[in-house]
Structure 1
């Protein structure tokens, strides 16, 4: 028997495997798994590849996964001398008549709290009922797909009665000055205002963040207290760090000071993201334009990603690189949303919108025209675009982006200054 020690590294080798059996959206309802240990025993190469693909999914980021060659006998032999994990996934070709007797040696060495998922070849409802009566957590008929396996694991270890996790929306610019922060702030305000949804805006650009300026706030505490003292972080501590911007929008502000170096390891923001998801239905993450371990980690964990670009060559190149990198980090998630900003700036040579999008093989979720007066007035007054001019094309665009990012509308081809008329039939709130 040989064992594969499977360690997850963000983006590692994800592009080397075929993921065409998983469609975008298949895994949207599967919640991230807790810190559990899983041993998978695979009799076939196909099952081994499937488990490798499961291990590379972001929902398994906290899971310790080992993939082993062999079936029930191999598992019984291994656990005769070592303790059993939280979950064993077993592939077996055993005849239903002898399956329970073959499982007996494994049952004798299994910890009572260990869960077992069996993947067999026989579609037999009587067998399924007998296995469940004898303590098997789930029986699945091969061939199985990755969403089925992850859903089965989640059904065992994620409490269905628990409060649903909030969704995290990450915004990043393809280059500096693209306006990603302004779009993140206006979308956060729009989501909270349009739908009366409790929303938290987290400004992750600690040295240069502008959320406090855009909302005319000067909080004494913010995200730096959370990231530098993760051991103190809980819902009560988070409430002390949040600043109320409106009835349903709270701000976790950046210090925007250069009194220290802000160097973080890859998982530095993970405790913050976890507490945000438990604290509000929507978290908007304003990510600075940089490529580090921690930004890759945050982008890998987010539910939705919005890339903001301007129609020039540097943005085109950087957006292409971002899309390629994120496809490797998030192989089972849908593509990020693309927002083209500052379109039509006077005297600036630009790449045509259709050429920009065709080069990337992606549709723009929104196209925002250059309007220095409107955006400048909003920034200088500490208000959002819709508060300055709610009838402007930009305000309409942010409203429609809020619908799109919260799942209240599906994406259609964007028009200049908006997302078209796709919301007309939905009855906007």
Structure 2
């Protein structure tokens, strides 16, 4: 809907729409915004209309926008029980001397990565400096127009010199068939569902990937087009390759065909990883069980690495080799997370979880019991564990793993069938 469909009105949050239309030239150069979630809290009808027009702009196609009538206090109340989005836009008429005090309850419940834009009534330079010094991304003096809001968002998330938006999480198995892909897929679904965060799941196992089967999808194109045509890779091309699995989860599927050899050099996946970091808050990378230059590069550059292992001798050896190698190529990063899977399989000799982890000198973040019926039903129906039985202990384990790898929880000693009570420092959002 164009601006001429709106009543021309001047208010605290909105100049007249004639000027708004004239100033639209100011944003013609802006690129489309990445996949981010934005919550706006509006005190006036003026800003409410401005945000509605923002939501209709072509640059906001990939943005999940929620517009709320409410104050800073309402935002703090909402986010005390739900995860904060990538960006919060707040309108306030509070005086400068009281504003920091009013923001304190919201600051207490905000994730560290959440950005905040404040639209206020006072053209006060000391206030502006104080807000920026305390982590507010931008302060705009009302009245504002749609170009003001879009430009402010773009300055945070589209600026080429800005830090990458996203966080990458790589899953790899210590051995083939240990369930690393299943963990990656359930974790990606969990992050998108629990936190209403836009997630891209990239299946890097081009010849044998199973993400398309596990999500019951049959996309005509996917990751191979991105890897074999890096010169074409941009935001628009990436959008064409993604398949929507749920409201907040998109899949970059593997072809799962043997019609060509899949030999890659060390940097083959770097253009893809860079554009994912720029366009999605969370990228989950399903890395196949092989050791090549390109897998080393992917694992070296990921923000988090999760190793899945089964408690037997071959997995113990491979997990140790993986951990030792990752220490060398990631010397300044924290240790990878270890998940023990398929524990307690009937009639199979196993190394006890305690002995397995003592040998590696690492605590597991999750111990998942063998459950052929639950996992088999999920795989055969193209659904995730929590969709099959959301009350199952394994579903809760995946939920807590999603909290851990996104930085919403600190790890403690795992218990069998779960992560234990690991919702300490940051608290569960």
Task: Write the distance in 2 (CA, Å) between the matches of 1:317 and 1:193.
Answer: 35
- 8 A Cα contact 2:178 2:310, kept in partner: yes
Q: Kindly state the Cα deviation for residue 422 of structure 1 after the two structures are TM-superposed.
A: 2.5
Is 2:262 aligned against 1:233? no
Task: Write the distance in 2 (CA, Å) between the matches of 1:277 and 1:376.
Answer: 33
Paired residues, what number?
Answer: 272
Q: Kindly state the Cα deviation for residue 427 of structure 1 after the two structures are TM-superposed.
A: 6.0
1:299 counterpart residue number: 299
Report Cα offsets for 1:343-379 as digits up to 9, x if no partner.
0000000000000000000000100000000000000
2:223 counterpart residue number: 223
Q: Kindly state the Cα deviation for residue 163 of structure 1 after the two structures are TM-superposed.
A: 5.9
Task: Write the distance in 1 (CA, Å) between the matches of 2:289 and 2:378.
Answer: 22
Task: Write the distance in 2 (CA, Å) between the matches of 1:314 and 1:204.
Answer: 23
Task: Compute the TM-score of the two structures, normalised by the length of structure 2.
Answer: 0.62
- 8 A Cα contact 2:180 2:308, kept in partner: yes
- 8 A Cα contact 2:222 2:255, kept in partner: yes
1:363 counterpart residue number: 363
Is 2:402 aligned against 1:402? yes
Unaligned runs of 5+ in 1: 1-157
Is 2:191 aligned against 1:191? yes
Q: Kindly state the Cα deviation for residue 421 of structure 1 after the two structures are TM-superposed.
A: 2.1
- 2:247 aligns to what SS in structure 1? coil
Q: Kindly state the Cα deviation for residue 416 of structure 1 after the two structures are TM-superposed.
A: 0.4
Task: Write the distance in 1 (CA, Å) between the matches of 2:279 and 2:259.
Answer: 30
Task: Write the distance in 2 (CA, Å) between the matches of 1:164 and 1:301.
Answer: 13
2:59 counterpart residue number: none
Q: Kindly state the Cα deviation for residue 266 of structure 1 after the two structures are TM-superposed.
A: 0.6
Task: Write the distance in 2 (CA, Å) between the matches of 1:422 and 1:267.
Answer: 36
Task: Compute the TM-score of the two structures, normalised by the length of structure 1.
Answer: 0.62
Task: Write the distance in 1 (CA, Å) between the matches of 2:406 and 2:427.
Answer: 15
Cα distance change, pair 294–161 in 1 and its aligned pair in 2 (3 A): closer
Unaligned runs of 5+ in 2: 1-157
Q: Kindly state the Cα deviation for residue 161 of structure 1 after the two structures are TM-superposed.
A: 7.4
Structural mapping, 1:303-342, within 5 Å:
303-342=303-342
Report Cα offsets for 1:163-210 as digits up to 9, x if no partner.
643010000000000000000000000000000000000000000000
1:200 counterpart residue number: 200
Q: Kindly state the Cα deviation for residue 244 of structure 1 after the two structures are TM-superposed.
A: 0.2
1:242 counterpart residue number: 242
Task: Write the distance in 2 (CA, Å) between the matches of 1:159 and 1:214.
Answer: 36
- 2:365 aligns to what SS in structure 1? strand
Task: Write the distance in 1 (CA, Å) between the matches of 2:171 and 2:422.
Answer: 23
1:128 counterpart residue number: none
- 8 A Cα contact 2:221 2:253, kept in partner: yes
Q: What RMSD in Å do the two structures reach over aligned CA positions?
A: 1.6
Task: Write the distance in 1 (CA, Å) between the matches of 2:202 and 2:284.
Answer: 6
Q: Kindly state the Cα deviation for residue 428 of structure 1 after the two structures are TM-superposed.
A: 3.9
Q: Kindly state the Cα deviation for residue 294 of structure 1 after the two structures are TM-superposed.
A: 0.4
- 8 A Cα contact 2:410 2:426, kept in partner: no
- 8 A Cα contact 2:410 2:425, kept in partner: no
Structural mapping, 1:23-422, within 5 Å:
162=162, 164-422=164-422
Report Cα offsets for 1:211-239 as digits up to 9, x if no partner.
00000000000000000000000010000
1:132 counterpart residue number: none
- 8 A Cα contact 2:214 2:384, kept in partner: yes
- 8 A Cα contact 2:410 2:424, kept in partner: no
- 2:366 aligns to what SS in structure 1? strand
Report Cα offsets for 1:82-118 as digits up to 9, x if no partner.
xxxxxxxxxxxxxxxxxxxxxxxxxxxxxxxxxxxxx
2:145 counterpart residue number: none
